[in-house]
Every structure is written in C-alpha cells, then in structure tokens.
C-alpha cells in the first residue's frame, strides 16, 4: 500500500540496546543463512543510514560472531561502503572509460568547483556528497552523472551548475512522490464494475479512490491517489508501517482480486479495473510503493496473469 515516506538518509547513530541497534540485529538475522551475508547486512545498514556508523559495526560484529577487525576490513574493502556520514544528496559521477574519453574528468572538476569539495567529500552543511564510480554501464550516454539515483546523460561541464542548483532548490519537490508525467486514472471494482471515485476527498488535487480495508478485526477505509505515478494514500485506520492490509470493494464488499505478490516485499498485490481498459495493481503493504499499470490486452482476467510482477514507478 502506498504512502508517503521521507527517505531517512541521515539516521541517528544506533546506540546499543536502542531500537536502532535492534534494527541492525534484525538485519543480521534476516541475512543469517544467506550467502554473502555480511556484505548484504552492511549494504542494508548503508542504505538505511547513508553510511556505516561505528556502533552498527559493533552490533554486527557481536551478532555475527565475527571479529570487529574482520567486519572493519570488509567495510573498508568495498567501494560502496562509507564510514563517514554522507550528505543528503549523493552526486555520483561515472568515470568509466567511455565517459573518460568524452570528458568526464572535466565534469568532475566542474562538480568539485561548484560544490567546493573534492571527490569523496561532503559539504560542510551536509547537503551534498560527491563520489565517483568506475562504470555505470550507460556508456552510450557518457559522461553520466547520477544525482540521488537519477541518471543525467551527456552532461557537459557547463550544465553542472544548473544540475546542482536544481537539486538544491527542487529536492523538496522531488521527494513529494509525484512523478513526472503523472495522469489521473478512473478505477472501478473488477467485480461489480462500480466506480471507486470519491469526489469528497481529494488527494493530489484529484478525486481519491476509496477502498474498504481490513486489518485483523479492524475495518475502515483507505483512500489512494488516483494519480498514476503518485504514492499518496490516506486512512483513518491506524495502520503500522510494514503491515499488510486486505482490500474490498466499498460497494459490493467483495475482496479485490490479487493475481500476484509484490516482488519486493512479498505481500499480495490487489488489482483494480481501469476505465478505458487495463488493470492497475498495487502492493498491500503499508510503506511499499510498488504498483503497476497493465494495458496489455489478450489477457482476460483469470488467465495468463503472472506472479510477482510488481513494478517500479516507471511502469
């Protein structure tokens, strides 16, 4: 189920015994029987906190039974781990061969000049970190600069300043969750065919989509944005982050069909009918924003639906 989540890049340091430390311990458990476990654990800590805090390394060492020096050696060996906090915005320039011969070093210089830091450093106000990467595999588009996961292709050194200014000003807008080129969908119940549109409550400046929801023995209503590409949802039902909700049609009270599980979190994806054709499905876990709009014909409901076809926002 979609909701608006603020990325928490700058998490506080986990204090042993605190909730954060339990989080890290939970990660260790999650990857215990996995291959490459330690690297996967550190990878998740890195994603969550933006870096590897010392206390987290201590917790990992304690829980995995591997010496702290061992954990430290892994944490310092791999390029994607950082022991120092990173800024809110991560600017990453590709220095692959193709980018290099097309002038990437000049672009990096321009970035360094613009941000006033050197590669590998973070600005004093903790807003930007600058890093380089060996190759992102987008060689035809070089020089490539990735800012907060968004690729910018054929970057010229003259364009650098504008890119950074955009991020500095527009980062709030980017996190708002409304992707570019979003459009409104009219969604109907696949069972009774009645519209789920709710004119009274508006989300993203569009009428919302009202669904009946159940979690355990609690019943209520959840509204999701009808804007395709938005991740906004609203509910008076107190749904804790990470829990899975069952959805029904508010008119006919039939459970919405679910043809697949979310590939990311494994919760069922519920499906709605799109007026005009096609189907829209979304993940039923609060906090997971996977959704999918399928306009492929020749797949009458009830036949060739795939499992696990959860989708990223570009779908």
Partner 1 sequence: MKRVQGMHHTDNRMSRLSSIGELHEMRRLLAHATHPAQTRIVICAGTACQASGSGELIRAVKRRIIKDSLVGKMSLRVTGCHGFCEMGPFVLTEPQMAFYAQVKPEDVARLITATLAGEYVEDLLYRDSDSGETYYRRDDIPFFKHQKRDILGLNQKIDPIRIHDYIAQGGYDSLARVLTRNDPAWVIQEVKRSGLRGRGGGGFPTGLKWEMLAKEPRDGGKFLVCNADEGDPGAYMDRSVLEGNPHSIIEGMVIGACGTGATEGIVYARNEYPLAIKHLTIALKQAKQLGFLGDNILGAGVSFDISVVRGAGAFVCGEETALIRSIEGKMGEPRQRPPYPLSKGIEGRPTAINNVETWANIPLLFRLGADEYAKTGTRNNSGTKIFSLVGKIKNTGLVEVPMGTTIRQIVHDIGGGPVGKTRIKAVQTGGPSGGCIPAEKFDLPIDYDTLAAAGSIMGSGGMIVMDENTCMVDVARYFMKFLKDESCGKCFTCRKGTQRLYEILDDITKGRGTAEHLGLLEELATVVKDTTMCGLGQTAANPVLSTLHCFAEEYRRHVGEKKCDAFVCRDLVGAPCQSACPLETEAWRYVALVEKGQYEAAYQVIRDANPFPSVCARVCDRKCESRCTLAGSGGQAVGIRALKRFITDRVDPGTYKRAETSSRDQTRWWMPSPPARKRRGA
Window 15-74: residues binding partner 1 (CB under 8 A): 34-40, 42-43, 70, 73-74
Determine, following the binding rule CB under 8 A, whether residue 176 of this chain makes contact with partner 1.
no
By beta-carbon proximity to partner 1, the closer residue of 235 and 268 is: 268
Q: Secondary structure of the chain in the HEC alphabet?
A: CCCCCCCCCCCCCCCCCCHHHHHHHHHHHHCCCCCCHHHHHHHHHHHHHCCCCHHHHHHHHHHHCCCHHHHHHHHHHCCCCCCCCCCCEEEEEECCHHHHHCCHHHHHHHHHHHHCCCCCCECCCCCEEEEEECCCCCHHHCCCEEECCEEECCCCHHHHHHHHHHHHHHHHHHHCCCCCCCEECCEECCCCCCECEEEEEEECCEEEEEEEEEECCEEEEEEECCEECECCEEECCCCCCCCECEEECCCCCCECCCCEECCCCCCEEEEEEECCCCEEEEECECCCCCEEEECCCCCCCCCCCCCCCCCCCCC
Determine, following the binding rule CB under 8 A, whether residue 296 of this chain makes contact with partner 1.
yes
By beta-carbon proximity to partner 1, the closer residue of 113 and 218 is: 113
Minimum separation from the CB atom of position 28 to partner 1 (A)? 12
Q: How many residues bind partner 1 (CB under 8 A)?
A: 81
Minimum separation from the CB atom of position 18 to partner 1 (A)? 26
By beta-carbon proximity to partner 1, the closer residue of 55 and 313 is: 313
| Binder among 142, 208, 232, 233 for partner 1 (CB under 8 A) | 142
- Contacts to partner 1 from residues 187-226, by CB under 8 A: none
By beta-carbon proximity to partner 1, the closer residue of 14 and 268 is: 268
By beta-carbon proximity to partner 1, the closer residue of 77 and 236 is: 77
- Contacts to partner 1 from residues 257-276, by CB under 8 A: 257-260, 263, 268, 274-276
| Binder among 100, 127, 197, 251 for partner 1 (CB under 8 A) | 100
Minimum separation from the CB atom of position 188 to partner 1 (A)? 12
Q: How far apart are CA 27 and CA 38, in angstroms?
A: 10
Minimum separation from the CB atom of position 167 to partner 1 (A)? 16
Determine, following the binding rule CB under 8 A, whether residue 78 of this chain makes contact with partner 1.
yes
By beta-carbon proximity to partner 1, the closer residue of 162 and 277 is: 277
By beta-carbon proximity to partner 1, the closer residue of 242 and 301 is: 301
């Amino acid at each position: 189920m979609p909701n608006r989540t603020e990325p928490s890049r700058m998490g506080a340091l986990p204090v042993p015994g605190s909730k954060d430390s339990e989080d890290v311990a939970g990660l260790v458990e999650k990857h215990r029987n996995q291959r490459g476990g330690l690297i996967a654990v550190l990878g998740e800590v890195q994603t969550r906190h933006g870096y590897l805090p010392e206390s987290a390394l201590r917790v990992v060492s304690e829980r995995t039974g591997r010496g702290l020096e061992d954990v430290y050696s892994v944490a310092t060996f791999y390029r994607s781990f950082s022991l120092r906090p990173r800024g809110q915005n991560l600017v990453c320039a590709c220095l692959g061969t193709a980018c290099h011969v097309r002038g990437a070093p000049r672009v990096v210089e321009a970035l360094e000049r613009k941000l006033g830091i050197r590669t590998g450093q973070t600005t004093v106000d903790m807003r930007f970190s600058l890093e380089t990467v060996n190759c992102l595999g987008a060689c035809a588009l070089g020089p490539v600069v990735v800012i907060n996961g968004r690729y910018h292709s054929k970057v010229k050194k003259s364009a650098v300043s504008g890119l950074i200014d955009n991020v500095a000003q527009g980062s709030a807008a980017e996190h708002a969750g409304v992707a570019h080129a979003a459009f409104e969908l009219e969604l109907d119940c696949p069972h009774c065919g009645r519209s789920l549109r709710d004119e009274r409550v508006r989300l993203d400046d569009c009428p919302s989509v009202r669904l009946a929801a159940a979690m355990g023995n609690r019943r209520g209503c959840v509204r999701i944005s009808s804007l395709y590409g938005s991740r906004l949802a609203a509910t008076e039902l107190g749904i804790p982050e990470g829990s899975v909700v069952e959805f029904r049609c508010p008119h006919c009270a039939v459970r919405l069909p679910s043809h697949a599980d979310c590939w990311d979190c494994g919760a069922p994806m519920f499906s709605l009918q799109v007026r005009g054709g096609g189907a829209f499905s979304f993940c039923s876990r609060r906090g997971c924003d996977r959704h999918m709009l399928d306009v492929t014909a020749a797949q009458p409901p009830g036949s060739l639906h795939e499992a696990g076809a959860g989708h990223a926002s570009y779908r």
